[in-house]
Amino acid sequence: MKTKILLLVTVLILGLSPGYSQLNNQKRKEFRTQRKLKLEAKIDQLVNSKNFVFEGKTALPSGGAAIDLTTNYNSVKFTSEKITSYMPFFGEAYSVEYGGDSGFKFEAKPEVFDIKKLKKGKGYAVDVKVTLPRENIELQLNIGSQGMATMTILSYNRKPISYFGSIREPDKTKEVK
């Protein structure tokens, strides 16, 4: 009698387990889909407000190896009124100020701030142009729908450099003064 009950309980447990597992997988899939849609909406709102921060994780200099940036603070804060850049530069410079800092460190009002939505909701292309006293700089930012981004900085005085990273909303506690 005990053997029959034990066998019945075992069969019931094994019979119900796959259905329970499928239900959990379906809930997980729905949760991931909802989380993805929320993130896409947040990225959409950030980009269209023209108020976001790009943080670089990797620098990709022209003709050089990739350089990890995760141990150093670097960012470009985009607003419609001001672009604040604190990005390192690795590569060849044609004309720079003697003893000057080798990075792209500046605050300037953007002359051009264009945002184009890419086809099929795949993200955005942002083009920003800034004029500094000794340099004209163009920032080309490609942002994916999940917030991952690639930024290329073009300058007449230096070779182009690209950065791989992500965008986020501005946070006062992370800014460097």
Domain boundaries, the chain: 45-174
Question: What ranges make up the beta strands (E) of 8-111?
Answer: 52-61, 67-68, 75-78, 83-87, 104-108
Candidates 60, 81, 43; CA nearest to 166 is 43
Q: Which H or E run contains 45?
A: helix 2-49
Residue 96: what are its φ and ψ, rounded to 5°?
Answer: -135, 160
Q: Please return the burial class of 170, using the count of CB atoms within 10 Å of its CB with bins 0-12, 13-18 and 19+.
A: middle
> Each residue's pLDDT tens digit in the chain (177 positions)?
777 777 767 766 666 556 555 557 778 888 888 888 888 888 888 888 989 999 999 988 888 788 888 888 889 999 989 999 888 888 777 776 665 566 888 899 999 999 998 887 788 999 999 988 888 899 999 999 888 999 999 988 888 999 999 999 887 545 444
Matching CATH number, 45-174, of 3.90.1150.10, 2.60.40.290, 2.40.100.10, 2.40.128.410 = 2.40.128.410
Contacts 24+ apart (CB under 8 A), 61-67: 61/90, 61/91, 61/159, 61/161, 62/91, 62/92, 62/159, 62/160, 62/161, 63/91, 63/159, 64/90, 64/91
Q: Which H or E run contains 149?
A: strand 148-155
